[in-house]
Amino acid sequence: MSEVTLRMVRGLAEARETLLSRKPLDELTAPPSLLASIEAIFGEPLTPDQVVERILADVRTQGDDAVRHYSRRIDGAELADLRVPRERIEQAWRNTAPAIREALQLSVQRIRAFHERQPRQSWMQWDGDGGGLGQMVLPLERVGIYAPNGRAPYPSSLLMAAVPARVAGVEQVVVATPPRGGELNDALLAAAYAADVDEVYAIGGAQAIGALAYGTATVPRVDKILGPGGIFVVLAKRRVYGVVGIDALPGPTETLLVADDSANPAYVAADMLAQAEHDPMASALLITTSEALAAAVQIEVSRQLPRLERRDIIVESLAAHGGIVLVDDLDTALALANEYAPEHLCLLTRDPWQHVGQVRHAGGVFVGELSS
């Protein structure tokens, strides 16, 4: 049975030097399992960046042929047509359980309502002499969304890129998602249907980013690439930036929880495990003022882990990038959280809203134990 013991450190200095230290993207260490997979596929030891460089160069010069080659080699997919027929997308929607369809539709409504509250408006200001200045805010013509279909698919990520694009008035929204073993994920296709995506392409990894950036006979070149992905997708987005716009270089996913002795250790452990299962390079960290909570979370992680399908990935992730930081007070905890600037910041304290104003640097803030 897989087991993991969370690393525990105390105080600011040790936390900064260990669990909360960051490396540039170039210095991230690929896990042994990933390097072994690369060598098995390519027949030689390559770094992730070398793999991406090779794939992008081939896609740029060989187009669809290179895309099919790498889809076969990496994803085990023999594809006659890279474009997913509309009938296949509609079939996925019909095959999706009614409760899931309702959840997707509700998500679309909520995401749309959120982003409709933040439009940018064009403006023009004239002076008395007939001169003036202003700003025109125009939607992009075409965007490409990458929707991962690796260890776990995330339809929500697709919705959170596609729906804002529609709100902004983007003319064409396309999605690229990998066919694992030749099979597309019905939940992702159903999300594409719910978000009114124009086209879906059965392409993954760096070859998908290359196709969207450079264009091929089948895949139209886009103005901007959106969406999360693993290390190959992130490195590919970095290399094509300038040829095409990108949303961000997020790196491996991460969550940081700030908690006191009022937090439920089962919820804290579940949050950490849910993040760690994404990827062996994911980070799941807890900063707490309570030694009792730290000990209870360790017990909960050990209790919940055996029931999870991706426990081997979780163990690898937590062993390399997870842990607990003990501090004297919540002000110190929040100061460390701001320094780390996590993608996801969870506030699990007695009065979490009291601390929201102290947050300066975080991608998303989740207030209270029932936020998600």
Q: What residue ranges do the domains of the chain occupy?
A: 8-24+252-367, 47-114+141-250
Q: What is the pLDDT of residue 128?
A: 80
Cα–Cα dist 283/287, whole Å: 13
How distant, in Å, are the alpha carbons of 121, 130, 132, 136, 247 from that of 127? 20, 6, 6, 18, 36
Q: What is the pLDDT of residue 2?
A: 65
What's domain 8-24+252-367's architecture? Answer: 3-Layer(aba) Sandwich (3.40)
Q: Is 361 noted as a catalytic residue in this protein?
A: no
**Which residue reads 């540039």 in tokens?**
24
Report whether 367 contacts 297 (CB < 8 A): no
Is 47-114+141-250 in the same CATH topology as 8-24+252-367?
A: yes
Q: Which CB contacts under 8 angstroms, 24+ apart, belong to 125-133? A: none
Report whether 273 contacts 345 (CB < 8 A): no
Q: What angle do CA 163, 165, 166 make, to 5 degrees?
A: 65
* pLDDT, tens digit only, all 372 positions of the chain: 467 889 999 998 999 999 998 877 777 778 888 899 999 999 999 999 999 999 999 999 999 999 999 999 988 888 889 999 999 999 999 999 999 999 999 999 999 999 999 878 899 999 888 899 999 999 999 999 999 987 778 899 999 999 999 999 999 999 999 998 778 999 999 999 999 999 999 999 999 999 999 999 999 999 999 999 888 999 999 999 999 999 998 878 899 999 999 999 999 999 999 999 988 889 999 999 999 999 999 999 999 999 998 899 999 999 999 999 999 999 999 999 999 999 999 999 999 999 999 999 999 999 999 886
Q: What is the pLDDT of residue 142?
A: 98
Cα–Cα dist 277/230, whole Å: 13
Sign of CA dihedral 25, 29, 33, 37: positive
Query: What are the strands, taking DSSP E only, across 132-234?
Result: 132-135, 142-146, 172-176, 199-201, 224-226
Look up residue 142 and give its two tokens. Answer: 């075409």
Closest CA to 256 of 210, 170, 167, 323: 323
What's domain 47-114+141-250's architecture? Answer: 3-Layer(aba) Sandwich (3.40)
Report whether 343 contacts 254 (CB < 8 A): yes
Catalytic residue, chosen from 199, 344, 355, 369, is 344
Pairing label, strands 283-288, 344-348: unpaired
**Which residue reads 């279909």 in tokens?**
149
pTM of the complete model: 0.87
Report whether 264 contacts 355 (CB < 8 A): no
Report whether 191 contacts 159 (CB < 8 A): yes
Residues 6+ apart with CB under 8 A from 122: 134, 135, 136, 137, 138
Cα–Cα dist 274/287, whole Å: 17
Instruction: Please give the DSSP secondary-structure letter assigned to residue 305.
Output: G
Catalytic residue, chosen from 254, 277, 316, 343, is 343
Report whether 182 contacts 52 (CB < 8 A): no
Q: What is the pLDDT of residue 1?
A: 43
Report whether 173 contacts 182 (CB < 8 A): no
Cα–Cα dist 21/26, whole Å: 15
Element (H, E) at 350: none
Using only the alpha carbons of the chain, give its radius of gyration: 22
